[in-house]
Amino acid sequence: MDFHSFIKLKKPILLDGAMGTQLMERGLEPSGLVNIDNPEVITDIHRDYFQAGCDAVITNTFTANRIYLETHHLDFDLETANRAGVQAALEACPQGKYVLGDIGTTGQLLMPFSNYSEEQFYLNFREQVQILLESGVHGFVIETQTDLREALCALHACKDICDLPVIVSFAFSRTPKGFATMMGNFLQDCA
């Protein structure tokens, strides 16, 4: 059954837990570089989550996008890290379970708070989405977003390339007017 069909069952979908925490417990720095240097560790973490009963795991590709890598001066190959992250998850994935490509934030702000345009963010995400798709993911998770505009750039990049399911999550804080993202997007706006 493909991930679309699984979602249509309308039952709860149990996802994996934090990858970064698991990497730190193993003495590794959380990043896409681990996909290249220690893929067996990533596979073992995914396998543990599947054995614990999750329906899908999220690839270790949270910060593996061009803008994040360049602005944080990370020196590893974007395509290799994304492909290796998907491969490590697929190796652990049993029949009837799923691998979701993880798309995190750029770590940057959009205009007028920086020099980055929505088009630049869109192209950044499109590049990562294409690599994840070609590598064999069953869907996508756009996670821990703090700006609705950035999340929409990533969502449009997914939807313009394929029709795989996409899950979007945001990070909210309590404000006097209700829960909002760092950029002031309220729950109802993000839904």
**For residue 152, what is the domain's CATH number?**
3.20.20.330
| Per-residue pLDDT reduced to its tens digit, 110-119 | 999 999 999 9
- H/E segment holding residue 58: strand 56-58
The mean per-residue pLDDT over the stretch 3-21 comes to: 95
Domain count, the chain: 1
Q: Is the pLDDT of residue 28 over 90?
A: yes
> What's the confidence (pLDDT) of residue 75?
85
User: What is the spatial distance between Cα 122 and Cα 130, in angstroms, rounded to a whole number?
Assistant: 12
Residue 78, domain extent:
3-190
Nearest to 9 by CA among 64, 50, 62, 55: 55
